[in-house]
C-alpha cells in the first residue's frame, strides 16, 4: 500500500529530535510521499518546508502565511512568496485561509492577507491549500470571488452540504484523523459523497492523531488508520483508497506518479 500524506508539519519542533526515524517509520507503512507545509512560525521565515524538501526524497514543500500569522505579513513577505513559489519542490501554496476560532490575527487582516496570497497563487498555476475554521461563509465568499484554480480543503471537517459547496468550486477534500473520531459522523457522511477523483488523505501531524493514537503526537505513519476508516466509510478496500488518493495527489500536483522522489 502506497500513501501520500498531503498535509504535514515536518518542521514542527515536536519532530526535531527524531525526524529521520519518523520518515523511516512512514516509509515502513507505505507513506512514501509527504507534502510538508511551509507556514512555520510565520514571516519573516518562509522557507522552512523547502529546507526539508531539499533534504529528504519524497518530501515536497509549500509556502504561505497561515491565518494565525497574518498580522506578521508585509509587502516584503509577498515579494518573498512570489520568488519562493518558483522553487522546484514547491508544489502548492498554503496553508492559507481564515481562522476565527483563535483570531490570533484580526479577522480583517486575515481576510486581506488571504486575498493577497490567492492573487499571488493564481499567477503561479499551483493549487492552494485552504485552512478554514469557524469561517466557512467568509472563506467560500472570498474563494468564489478571487479563485479560479485547483485547491484543497485541508483537514475537512464540514458536513455534506459544505462538502458539496467545496466540490462546486472544483476543490479536492482532504481527510485527516478527525474522520476516525466517534463524534465525527457528519464528516464521515461528507466523506461518503466525495467523488473518487477529489479525495485526499493527510495527517496534519503533529496535530489530530487518528484513533487509536488520539491525544498522542501524530506522525505520517499513523495515516494508515485514516485511510482504513475512509475505506470503511466508502465500502471499499484500503488498497483502493491508497491507490485513488495517491493518483489524485500526483495529478493535482502535476507529479509523475511512477516516481517517489
Ligand atoms: Zn490547518
Ligand atoms: Zn496544517
**Cα of 231 from ligand 2 centre, angstroms:** 23
User: What mean pLDDT is reported for the chain?
Assistant: 96
Q: Residue range 3-7: average pLDDT?
A: 98
Tell me which ligand sits closest to the C-alpha of residue 8. 2
Q: Residue range 141-145: average pLDDT?
A: 98
Residue 254 has pLDDT above 80, yes or no: yes
**Cα of 204 from ligand 2 centre, angstroms:** 5
pLDDT band at 256 (very low <50, low <70, confident <90, very high): confident
Tell me which ligand sits closest to the C-alpha of residue 67. 1
**Cα of 17 from ligand 1 centre, angstroms:** 23
pLDDT at position 178? 98
Burial class (CB in 10 A: 0-12, 13-18, 19+), 215: exposed
pLDDT tens by residue, 242-253: 999 999 999 999
pLDDT at position 261? 46
**Cα of 193 from ligand 1 centre, angstroms:** 22
Burial class (CB in 10 A: 0-12, 13-18, 19+), 123: exposed
CB 62, CB 91: distance < 8 Å: yes
**Cα of 232 from ligand 2 centre, angstroms:** 25
**Cα of 11 from ligand 1 centre, angstroms:** 14
Q: Residue range 124-131: average pLDDT?
A: 95
Tell me which ligand sits closest to the C-alpha of residue 207. 2
Residue 239 has pLDDT above 90, yes or no: yes
**Cα of 155 from ligand 1 centre, angstroms:** 7
Name the residue among 187, 226, 170, 216 with its Cα closest to residue 5: 226
**Cα of 254 from ligand 1 centre, angstroms:** 23
**Cα of 7 from ligand 2 centre, angstroms:** 6
**Cα of 256 from ligand 2 centre, angstroms:** 25
d(CA 98, CA 153): 12
d(CA 191, CA 177): 13
- ω into residue 206 within 30 of 0, thus cis? yes
Tell me which ligand sits closest to the C-alpha of residue 131. 1
Q: Residue range 159-172: average pLDDT?
A: 98
Q: What are phi and psi of 194, to 5 degrees?
A: -75, 130
d(CA 41, CA 36): 14
pLDDT at position 257? 52
pLDDT at position 159? 97
pLDDT at position 56? 97
d(CA 31, CA 206): 15
Q: Where are the alpha helices (DSSP H) in the chain?
A: 19-28, 48-55, 75-84, 107-124, 136-146, 160-168, 185-193, 223-234, 238-252
Q: Residue range 217-236: average pLDDT?
A: 98
**Cα of 1 from ligand 2 centre, angstroms:** 24
Tell me the whole-structure pTM to 2 decimals: 0.96
**Cα of 8 from ligand 2 centre, angstroms:** 6
Name the residue among 102, 95, 114, 88 with its Cα closest to residue 37: 95
Residue 258 has pLDDT above 70, yes or no: no
pLDDT tens by residue, 75-114: 999 999 999 999 999 999 999 999 999 999 999 999 999 9
CA distances from 62 to 59, 104, 107 (A): 10, 22, 23
Tell me which ligand sits closest to the C-alpha of residue 139. 1
Q: Where are the alpha helices (DSSP H) in 19-134?
A: 19-28, 48-55, 75-84, 107-124
pLDDT at position 192? 98
**Cα of 95 from ligand 1 centre, angstroms:** 6
**Cα of 252 from ligand 1 centre, angstroms:** 19
**Cα of 200 from ligand 2 centre, angstroms:** 14
Q: What are phi and psi of 13, to 5 degrees?
A: -60, -25
**Cα of 173 from ligand 2 centre, angstroms:** 14
Residue 260 has pLDDT above 70, yes or no: no
**Look-up: residue for cell 476508516?**
229
pLDDT at position 58? 96
Amino acid at each position: 500500500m502506497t500513501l501520500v500524506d498531503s498535509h504535514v508539519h515536518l518542521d514542527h519542533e515536536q519532530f526535531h529530535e527524531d525526524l529521520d526515524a519518523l520518515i523511516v517509520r512512514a516509509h515502513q507503512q507505505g507513506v512514501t510521499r509527504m507534502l510538508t507545509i511551509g507556514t512555520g512560525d510565520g514571516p519573516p521565515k518562509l522557507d522552512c518546508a523547502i529546507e526539508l524538501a531539499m533534504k529528504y526524497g519524497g518530501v515536497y514543500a509549500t509556502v504561505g502565511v497561515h491565518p494565525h500569522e497574518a498580522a506578521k505579513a508585509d509587502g516584503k513577505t509577498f515579494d518573498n512568496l512570489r520568488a519562493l513559489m518558483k522553487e522546484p519542490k514547491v508544489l502548492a501554496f498554503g496553508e492559507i485561509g481564515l481562522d476565527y476560532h483563535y483570531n490570533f490575527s484580526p479577522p480583517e487582516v486575515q481576510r486581506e492577507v488571504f486575498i493577497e496570497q490567492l492573487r499571488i497563487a493564481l499567477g503561479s498555476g499551483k493549487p492552494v491549500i485552504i485552512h478554514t475554521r469557524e469561517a466557512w461563509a467568509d472563506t467560500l465568499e472570498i474563494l468564489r470571488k478571487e479563485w479560479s484554480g485547483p485547491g484543497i480543503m485541508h483537514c475537512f471537517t464540514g458536513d455534506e452540504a459544505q462538502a458539496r459547496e467545496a466540490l462546486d468550486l472544483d476543490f479536492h477534500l482532504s481527510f485527516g484523523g478527525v474522520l476516525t473520531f466517534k463524534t465525527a459522523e457528519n464528516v464521515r457522511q461528507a466523506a461518503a459523497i466525495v467523488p473518487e477523483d477529489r479525495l485526499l488523505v493527510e495527517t496534519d501531524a503533529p496535530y489530530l492523531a487518528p484513533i487509536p493514537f488520539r491525544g498522542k503526537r501524530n506522525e505520517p505513519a499513523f495515516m494508515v488508520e485514516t485511510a482504513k476508516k475512509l475505506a470503511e466509510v466508502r465500502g471499499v478496500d484500503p488498497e483502493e483508497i491508497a491507490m485513488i488518493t495517491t493518483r489524485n495527489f500526483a495529478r493535482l500536483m502535476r507529479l509523475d506518479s511512477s516516481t517517489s522522489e
